[in-house]
């Protein structure tokens, strides 16, 4: 962030100088044009056949000299501006790291014959998942890559989320209605109904909103009592003549903020229901990469130490990086918490029904007949319900 602010300062200086020079030059040019026009008018009064009197000749010569001087001044000022602009470039170089080759030495492998098609597929898939079907089609056609599955559930979700962000809850409500049974414990239906009630209040009238609230809110009253009360109270400020709402209702009455919040809840809940990762593989890789690279860069010197190189395998990270809430969890290795051994192909990590992960050897050791008690939660389950986890 400090780096961005540092560059912004230099950029602001350059912009201010540029604007000032622009204004100054425009005024100077306008003045010169007026002077030339006036002189032209003066000369037009003369008969074309008469020779110019010496004082007029002097006027023209002076005018040409002052024009030349003005043009010279402008080009000098312009040249000086270039120094300010190039300072921004230098400031970017100074504040940001341009060369990550030391910590990501395999970057060029993206372009190898095996990986390039995978990258292209990931890009196309990402475009489709964002709901940018036209762009995805154009990319596939222009890059001449094999078609990628187009009818992706994610595209539909993105369309619903985009409509929400625009303030229209209808497509998302229809999607939710089709899956009402699976979403009984989700906050999503209430979030959407609340958005629709407030939209009706704003656009049709408070009466319509209350009618809608009566029809749909009772089903959500027990779980969302506080939010529901706030929503109904907020309706009081929906009338055109209403005074500005108190601060705690402002968010509910701001269609943009409400839409953005609903879109976020929608993507999170719908992805959880469909068991989709909320981010496309490409978006996930970029997000995680952006978080990991600076940390790797900071310990670059230590990583290059022969002992460290020897201690860490090629595809492992020597440090743990917090990827934040939306970054998810990525592991390059798994160590069994029971046997305290690193997992291997012969002894892979196994995810138990409760979500805890132990190695297969540990699972076999803990199994009593057909029953297994998780050593952590401790849920009773069948060992056959455990699933192998693959790290790649």
The binding site for Zn ion (CB under 5 A) comprises: 354, 356, 374, 376-377
**Residue whose CB is less far from Zn ion, 143 or 377:** 377
Q: Which is nearer to Zn ion, 165 or 354 (CB)?
A: 354
Q: Which is nearer to Zn ion, 64 or 379 (CB)?
A: 379
Q: Which is nearer to Zn ion, 25 or 381 (CB)?
A: 381
CB closer to Zn ion, 281 vs 375: 375
Nearest to 189 by CA among 210, 164, 216, 213: 216
Query: Taking the complex as a whole, how short is the minimal distance between the CB of residue 352 and Zn ion, in angstroms?
Result: 5
Give the whole-angstrom CA distance, residue 384 versus residue 89: 60
Contact 241, 204 (CB under 8 A): no
173 or 372: CB nearest Zn ion: 372
Whose CA is closest to 154, among 182, 190, 127, 120? Answer: 127
Residue identified by tokens 């619903």 is 160
Spell out the alpha helix ranges (H) of the chain. 2-44, 54-95, 115-129, 133-143, 153-165, 170-178, 188-203, 206-216, 225-234, 247-250, 255-274, 281-298, 300-303, 306-311, 324-327, 360-366
Q: Give the nearest distance from C-beta 385 to Zn ion in angstroms.
A: 12
Please state the closest distance from residue 356 (CB atom) to Zn ion, in A: 4
- State in angstroms the smallest separation of the CB of 340 from Zn ion: 18
Rounded to a whole number of angstroms, the minimum distance from the CB of residue 386 to Zn ion is 11
Shortest Å distance, C-beta 322 to Zn ion:
24
Please give the C-alpha separations between residue 256 and each of 164, 195, 280, in angstroms, as whole numbers: 9, 11, 25
Of 331 and 351, nearer to Zn ion (C-beta) is 351
Around Cβ 299, how many Cβ atoms within 10 Å? Answer: 14
User: What is the rounded distance in angstroms from the CA atom of residue 138 to the CA atom of residue 45?
Assistant: 64
Distance CA 64, CA 32 (A): 11
């Amino acid at each position: 962030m400090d780096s961005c602010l540092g560059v912004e300062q230099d950029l602001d200086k350059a912009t201010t100088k540029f604007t000032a020079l622009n204004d100054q030059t425009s005024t100077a040019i306008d003045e010169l044009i007026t002077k030339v026009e006036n002189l032209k008018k003066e000369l037009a009064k003369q008969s074309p056949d008469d020779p110019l009197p010496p004082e007029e000749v002097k006027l023209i010569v002076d005018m040409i000299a002052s024009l030349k001087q003005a043009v010279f001044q402008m080009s000098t000022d312009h040249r000086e501006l270039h120094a300010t602009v190039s300072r921004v470039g230098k400031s970017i170089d100074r504040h940001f790291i341009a060369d990550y080759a030391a910590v990501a030495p395999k970057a060029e492998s993206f372009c190898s014959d095996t990986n390039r098609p995978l990258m292209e597929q990931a890009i196309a898939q990402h475009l489709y998942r964002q709901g940018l079907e036209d762009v995805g089609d154009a990319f596939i056609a222009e890059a001449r890559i094999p078609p990628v599955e187009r009818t992706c559930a994610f595209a539909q979700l993105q369309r619903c989320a985009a409509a929400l962000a625009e303030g229209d809850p209808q497509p998302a409500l229809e999607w939710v209605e089709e899956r009402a049974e699976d979403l009984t414990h989700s906050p999503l239906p209430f979030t959407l109904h609340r958005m629709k009630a407030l939209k009706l209040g704003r656009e049709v009238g408070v009466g319509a909103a209350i009618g809608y609230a009566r029809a749909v809110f009772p089903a959500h009253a027990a779980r969302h009592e506080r939010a529901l009360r706030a929503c109904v109270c907020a309706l009081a400020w929906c009338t055109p003549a209403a005074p500005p709402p108190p601060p705690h209702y402002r968010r509910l009455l701001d269609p943009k903020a409400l839409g953005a919040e609903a879109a976020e809840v929608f993507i999170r809940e719908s992805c959880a229901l469909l068991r989709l990762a909320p981010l496309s593989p490409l978006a996930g890789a970029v997000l995680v990469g952006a978080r990991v690279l600076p940390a790797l860069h900071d310990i670059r010197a230590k990583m290059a130490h022969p002992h460290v190189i020897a201690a860490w395998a090629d595809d492992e990270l020597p440090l743990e990086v917090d990827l934040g809430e939306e970054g998810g969890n990525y592991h390059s290795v798994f160590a069994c918490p029971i046997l305290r051994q690193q997992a291997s192909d012969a002894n892979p990590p196994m995810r138990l029904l409760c979500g805890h992960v132990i190695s297969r050897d540990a699972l076999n050791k803990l199994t009593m007949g057909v029953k297994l008690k998780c050593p952590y939660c401790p849920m009773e389950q069948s060992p056959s319900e455990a699933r192998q986890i693959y790290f790649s």
